[in-house]
Amino acid sequence: MSLPLLAALVVVALTLGYLWYGRLLSRLYGLDDDRVTPAREKEDGVDFAPVAPGYLLGQHFSAISAAGPIVGPIAACMYFGWGPCVLWITLGCIFIGAVHDMSALVASVRHGARTVAEIVRQHLTPRAWAAFMGFIWLALLYVIVAFTDVTASTFLGRIEELEGVQVGFERGGAVAFASVAYLLLAVVMGLVQRRFAPPLWLTTVIFVPATLGLVALGTVPQVSTLLALGPLGDVHPQKVWGVLLLGYCFVASLLPVWLLIQPRGYLGGFILYIVLAVGVVGVFAGGFEVKQPAFKGLVADAPGPAALLFPFLFVTIACGACSGFHGLVCSGTTSKQLDKETHCRTVGYGGMLLEGLVALIALSTVMILEAPKGSPGAIYGDGIAEYLCVVLPRDYLLAAKVFGAMAFSTFVFDTLDVATRLGRYILEELLDWRTRAASVAATAATLALPLLFIATADAPQPGKPATYMQFWTLFGASNQLLAALTLLGVTVWLRRSGRPCWFALGPTVFVMAITVWALGHLAWSDLAAARGPDGALVVAKLVNGLVALVLLAIAALLVVEAVRAVRAARPPGEPPASPVV
């Protein structure tokens, strides 16, 4: 099958999914613009601030999209072939991932913009709520640590897409300058919008080109050295950048959303749209052939226990088809900015379909290679550069690689402060903290463990694999388990509210079964390998195995509590639920 034909079929399927299934979900949920959304009812200009759906979609898309829909599909294609990957990305997005995102957003809006954990508390039990909250908070700590490490490394010039390429500027300094300047530009945009309220098209034509101009400016040799850090005594510069990034997260998560998160997400969304456009042009007009096999077998040459197509295909692709982190964004920040209920379909369902398109383009970058080598990030960067050169002369290949690396770094950077803000929300709800001082304390507590990890971690060594790759399969399984648990809570809410719940129950059962299967494999294999051949303790294996067992225990607890809640007239210890539908 040709690459353009295959991509066209996927795009048509995603479009039909939005037009048909998305509209069906809107009817089943009874979305009504006459209802006042929490963003309108509680508008305070800090956390609750209604915005236009197009503006919010850009911010939401920027927040939910990170390394997941890029790394996962490429790795899965190298293990299992592109055929199963295409099927899971397409069907998973339409019937599971987008359903999860839209459901989490609708449920949060109908419950006063509360998080999915708070919804679990209302419709299950306080014990289930506490377990769910703890799991979410710990998962967010992992996200913060991982993305801090990834971003800090790019600020030092260790960019996979440019490995071994000679350039005339400081690579790390260029990325650091572009990222910092981009954030400052977002603040300026937020202030301009707040003070003068210009039309959105005007701010777009001014600030989007300015963002691209800052990326180009970072490649000027004199500019690229402004933020380039060398060794600072015995302190590795990556640690310095890590601490500075966490300091940024502390400040950014406490700022009003209109000042940073909304304009930054909007601008970041355009960078993603540009990369998507480049990918679409490359796929449909580049004349590239599919060189990878469609299927490589049920057992692949993959690391560790991830060699089995079932269940590891699903948790390896992870965010490219379904992501529990999206539910945290939907119920943590996006629901507080939704102007009208019908926008849930555009932002929630549509945003996940866009991520599916990101996953498809990432998948295509490995499909066109005869013998793919290197990390998924390197393969993706090379592929995007090749696609960009479809419309640019080959002389610009190096510049294309630079743009891809900077866009990817800025893209991941956007997730950091969103995860920190969500961690603050979780602690505020868990401990019932409602004051401004409590918000500061919750933010500090969320960043304490990541700061300890960054400050005490061993300095990175050349040639050593990225740490996050050791945990990718567990990350994917835990992320999809979170999605299953979110859908479980939504299913209970719908069931007890007298509304149809089949569209949430089906994905709940499937994703729960897949993740429990995968986590069982991981727990068994990692704990068995916790002692190395020389008898030494392999800490990473031990931690992975124990975490897998904890996740399985939480899943079992929540399933039991959900069954009890459906059977009971109301959750034990809770007053009857107010009408929310």
CB 486 within 8 A of CB 327: yes
Please give the Cα distance from 99 to 507 (Å, whole number).
8
Positions of the chain with pLDDT lower than 50, given as ranges: 161, 571-581
* Burial class, 577, CB count within 10 angstroms (exposed 0-12 / middle 13-18 / buried 19+): middle
* Burial class, 544, CB count within 10 angstroms (exposed 0-12 / middle 13-18 / buried 19+): buried
Residue 529: the pLDDT is 84
* Burial class, 409, CB count within 10 angstroms (exposed 0-12 / middle 13-18 / buried 19+): buried
Which residues span the domain enclosing 468?
3-567
CB 446 within 8 A of CB 137: yes
Q: 534 in a domain, yes or no?
A: yes
Q: 122 in a domain, yes or no?
A: yes
What's the full length of the chain, in residues? 581
Output the six-digit token pair for 130. 């506490």
Q: 579 in a domain, yes or no?
A: no
For 322, other C-beta atoms within 10 Å of its C-beta total 37
Output the six-digit token pair for 405. 């690396």
Q: 211 in a domain, yes or no?
A: yes
Ramachandran assignment for 304, one of left (phi > 0), alpha (psi -120 to 50 degrees), beta (any other): left
Q: 143 in a domain, yes or no?
A: yes
* Burial class, 394, CB count within 10 angstroms (exposed 0-12 / middle 13-18 / buried 19+): exposed
Please give the Cα distance from 40 to 48 (Å, whole number).
8
CB 49 within 8 A of CB 330: no
Name the 3-class secondary structure at 154.
helix
pLDDT tens for each residue of 401-418: 667 666 666 666 667 887
Q: 581 in a domain, yes or no?
A: no
* Burial class, 196, CB count within 10 angstroms (exposed 0-12 / middle 13-18 / buried 19+): exposed
User: How many structural domains does the chain have?
Assistant: 1
Q: 343 in a domain, yes or no?
A: yes
Q: What is the Cα 319 distance to its own chain's centre? A: 7
> Which residues have CB under 8 Å from 543's CB, separation 6+?
none
Q: 466 in a domain, yes or no?
A: yes
Residue 112: the pLDDT is 94
